[in-house]
Amino acid sequence: MEIFCSAGFDVDVIGHEKLKHYLKRWRNTYTTLGETGLLEEQRGKGSTRRPPEERLSTEEKLKRAEARIKLLEAENEFLKKLDALGIKGEKH
């Protein structure tokens, strides 16, 4: 509880059982993967501890860049069509 309190979390709002769950999960991660397991992102759809961007091969970086370009081109086309119809998109 001290860890959460010292970090400024209200343990009564989070709930004591939830905190116990977090600590148990962190202990298990540390036991199985060591300190590295606590430093790497483990969340997401069936996370396989995806490698950081800098560890990707050149081919994989290129595939990701091409996919991003296609997405942005499609977004631009969509916005052009909205503009032609006189519909303004909202920026958040």
> Is 26 within 8 Å of 38 (Cβ atoms)?
yes
Both 32 and 63 in one domain: the answer is no
Statement to judge: residues 1 and 46 lie in one domain: yes
Q: Which of 57, 61, 80, 43 has its CA nearest to residue 89? A: 80
Number of structural domains found in the chain: 2
57/33 same-domain check: no
What pLDDT does residue 38 have? 80
pLDDT of the chain, 92 residues: tens digit per residue: 787 788 888 888 888 888 888 889 888 888 988 888 887 766 665 555 555 556 778 888 899 999 999 999 999 998 888 888 887 655 54
Based on the fold, state whether residues 46 and 1 are members of the same structural domain: yes
Same domain, 40 and 62: no
Tell me, yes or no, whether 33 and 18 share the same domain: yes
Q: Are 61 and 91 contained in the same domain?
A: yes
Query: Both 8 and 40 in a single domain?
Result: yes
Residue 82, domain extent: 52-92
If asked whether residues 60 and 46 sit together in one domain, one would say no
Q: What is the pTM of this model?
A: 0.40
